[in-house]
Amino acid sequence: MQLIYEKSIPGRRGVRLPASDVPQAAELPTGLRRSDAPGLPEMSELDVVRHFTNLSRRNFSVDTNFYPLGSCTMKYNAKALEEAAKLFAPFHPMVPLLPQGASFSQGCLGLAYELGACLAEITGMDEVTTQPLAGAHGEMAGIMLIAAYHEAKGSKKKYVVVPDSSHGTNPASAAMVGYEIITVPTAPYGDMDLDKFREVMTDEVAAVMMTCPNTLGLFNPHIKEISDIAHDHDALMYYDGANLNAILGKVRPGDVGFDVIHVNLHKTFGTPHGGGGPGSGPVGVKKQLIPFLPTPRIVKADDGSYAIDTHTHESIGRTAGFFGNFGVMVKAFAYMTMLGRDGLIQVSEQAVLSANYVMSQLKDAFELPYDQTCMHECVFSASRQVKNGVHAIDIAKFLIDKGYHPPTVYFPLIVKEAIMIEPTETESKETLDAFIAIMKEAAELAEKDPAAFSAMPKTMPVTRLDETKAAREQNVCYFGC
Ligand SMILES: *Cc1c(COP(=O)(O)O)cnc(C)c1O
């Protein structure tokens, strides 16, 4: 496929503007004028439309096909949410920060505040900041809050404890804030090994970071016990909210001992994220951590109006420009208000039912290392297929040819050849059945003709790439490098 620059024909135009009838005021100073034309592609309107339409047809999205990417909650993004976000597009993000600006931006401040209040209610926290721009960013902000809390108390803390099933961003965030990481292995039943956990807990532990349900899709029945042990050592409990879709309206992390959480708005509350964005990772905290929240805080006065509070001297500071990724926040707020309390409860119930349905139907075809009722996702292994030389990545490529986005593969790291399937609540039974049939077809092909996989995908502009090279020796420049 040619780049748009390669299609350029000198002198060709898409739009011709009439001659200006406004008198010229003055010449731009020579230093500000360009010496050459900007080098933009010269094309007709139709050629531009075709170029971009054809490019867009190579995109994979939830709007085109099933996207069971485990841990990512790629649910359908209702078009009404986009309409809601559009309503806020004309507002300049600087306005609330200007003198008297808050009076012109009550709607925006109110939305951010009320979104925080809804998230606090859903998660059982006392206050929420909407600033962080993604889950990983929220984790880092959350661990900074925990560090500020311990520091204010004069406690010397050195470690953050994570289970070995944790998402890589958990230990990475803690390490970036300066903690050493202690990793606890997973027991055969699929949860963090409680005895090993007890062994590593000392008064030098600052926090225990957990995802619940964890990345195997399993709910840990010992959460309360774990948080009691952590609190006995004055360690705080951090909840990675990436899997919140599984427990919406069922369990509030704040009620079972968690002190700090982040929520991935772009997972649980619409806006499926692709291509690196956009995201939003609000952080919720219990009372004792409120003084450290990022500045500025949005507060609500007794008369119901909203204002900005910058007098937060213990704050960890600003973690993002303005008030967060506002468009994603609007979509999340619209999502919550459209569904309401009962709707959100139905979301988690349906998500869990769908995952268990897929799991039950594929059990005979693929190895299921932790064979239990799952929550919103299930993790298979391609270990049976590997005996014939077919790996998880080969099954992923097969699915691409069949029009499905592959599940997450090779994560969580504790499952060899992992295939992590998260169907989400927005898919119909017909879609799930079609996917199940294709997965069974993959398992059969791995028995009958394993060599066939090496040529896949066949339907894409590129086939097998050297993924290591693509990551390590990136060259994304087209001109002159
Ligand atoms: C997605 C995810 C994260 C990181 O969130 P981002 O928004 O992608 O930064 C952290 N933990 C788990 C379990 C996740 O699935």
Q: Mutate which of 69, 71, 424 to test ligand 1's pocket (most atoms within 8 Å of Cβ)?
A: 71
Q: Mutate which of 130, 167, 215, 238 to test ligand 1's pocket (most atoms within 8 Å of Cβ)?
A: 167
Nearest CA-CA partner of 112 in 327, 288, 309: 327
Exposed, middle or buried, 144 (CB in 10 Å: 0-12/13-18/19+)?
Answer: buried
Instruction: Report, as an integer, the average pLDDT of 30-36.
Output: 91
Strands 297-300 and 283-285: unpaired
Q: Which two tokens stand for residue 393?
A: 């990545």
Q: Rounded to whole angstroms, how far apart are CA atoms 272 and 65?
A: 13
> Mind listing the pLDDT tens digit for each residue in 388-416?
999 999 999 999 999 999 999 999 999 99
Q: Which one has a higher pLDDT value, 288 or 2? A: 288
The pTM (predicted TM-score) of the whole model is 0.92
Question: If you take atom 3 of ligand 1, which residue's CA is the nearest one?
Answer: 135
Q: Which two tokens stand for residue 153?
A: 């108390």
Q: Are 411 and 392 in contact (CB under 8 A)?
A: no
> Mind listing the pLDDT tens digit for each residue in 194-209?
999 999 999 999 999 9
The packing angle between helices 79-88 and 106-123, to 10°, is 140
The answer to whether the Cα torsion of 396, 400, 403, 406 is positive or negative is positive
User: Which domains are present in the chain?
Assistant: 79-337 (3.40.640.10), 347-457 (3.90.1150.10)
The band of 318, judged by pLDDT with boundaries at 50, 70 and 90, is very high
> Mind listing the pLDDT tens digit for each residue in 321-363?
878 999 999 999 999 999 999 999 999 999 999 999 999 999 9
Strand segments, DSSP code E, in 220-354 are: 236-241, 260-263, 283-285, 297-300, 306-309
Q: Are 426 and 75 in contact (CB under 8 A)?
A: yes
Q: Which two tokens stand for residue 76?
A: 């359908």
User: Residues lining ligand 1, CB < 6 A?
Assistant: 71, 134-136, 167, 169, 211, 215, 240, 242, 264, 279, 281
pLDDT of 276 reads: 61
